[in-house]
Chains A and B, each alone.
Chain A
């Protein structure tokens, strides 16, 4: 069964450093999403992406965040200058219609 994959599974970085989280969505999907979940809190929407552009973003998704689909298979989330409060699980999802399929997540730890 096709699945969404994410790399790395765990990323540790120093405050102020740039990180790139990578996702490979399901191959025939056209809609892509990033969510995050701070430890012990609910899953929060960050951004949705369709047709090579952002279709919706949340207040969390400020100028420090960017997304890109650099080729036909990868979907990336970049945080330019990480803060301590960016420490969270980051989930990528993709969909072709109603159902979103989530990856296993990347645990980002900012020290």
Chain B
């Protein structure tokens, strides 16, 4: 599996944006960039994914560098409920491929 690198932790204030970086310099042309998060004592939860273009959904935005070697997950207005571990995962475009979780970035949101 192609490897991703994320900071161990980030802190944010409530109502402020959070930018979570992910480096994936060995990404191949067919790898999708997926983000999942895991709230405390819960199972992982899908956040967003993309291939080349920036993506937006109700939870977050995903900004993908032009060379695709890095990406940034953007939480536009952090809430206390966004405190979680965020995982950046590369995955082939298929419905039958495992997710390979790393350590992720632990996001702390201050009230």
List A residues at the B interface (Cβ < 8 Å): 4, 30-31, 33, 35, 42-45, 48, 50, 55-56, 58, 91, 93, 95-105
Say whether B95 contacts A31, CB under 8 Å: yes
Q: Decide: A48 near B98, CB < 8 A? Known: A98-B93, A102-B43, A102-B44.
A: yes
Say whether B42 contacts A42, CB under 8 Å: no
Main secondary structure of the interface of A (DSSP, over half): strand
Say whether B96 contacts A48, CB under 8 Å: yes
Say whether A45 contacts B96, CB under 8 Å: no
Interface size on B, residues (CB 8 A): 22
* Nearest 7 A/B pairs, CB to CB: A102-B43, A43-B101, A45-B98, A97-B95, A91-B43, A99-B46, A102-B44
Main secondary structure of the interface of B (DSSP, over half): loop
Say whether B43 contacts A98, CB under 8 Å: no
Say whether B96 contacts A31, CB under 8 Å: yes
Name which residue of chain B comes closest to A4, CB basis.
B43
What is the bound-complex CA distance between A106 and B22, given in angstroms? 30
Name which residue of chain B comes closest to A90, CB basis.
B43
What is the bound-complex CA distance between A96 and B46, given in angstroms? 13
Say whether A42 contacts B102, CB under 8 Å: yes
Say whether B43 contacts A103, CB under 8 Å: yes
| Complex interface: chain B residues within 8 A of A31 (CB) | 95-96
| Complex interface: chain B residues within 8 A of A93 (CB) | 43-44
Does B55 have its Cβ within 8 Å of any Cβ on chain A? no
Q: Which of A50, A97, A100 contacts B99 (CB 8 A)?
A: A100
Say whether B44 contacts A50, CB under 8 Å: no
| Complex interface: chain A residues within 8 A of B95 (CB) | 30-31, 95-98
Say whether B44 contacts A91, CB under 8 Å: yes
Q: Which of A50, A103, A104 contacts B96 (CB 8 A)?
A: A50
Q: Smallest CB–CB gap between A18 and chain B, Å?
A: 24
Q: Which of B52-104 contact A (CB under 8 A)?
A: 87, 91, 93, 95-104
| Complex interface: chain B residues within 8 A of A43 (CB) | 38, 44, 87, 99, 101
Say whether A44 contacts B46, CB under 8 Å: no
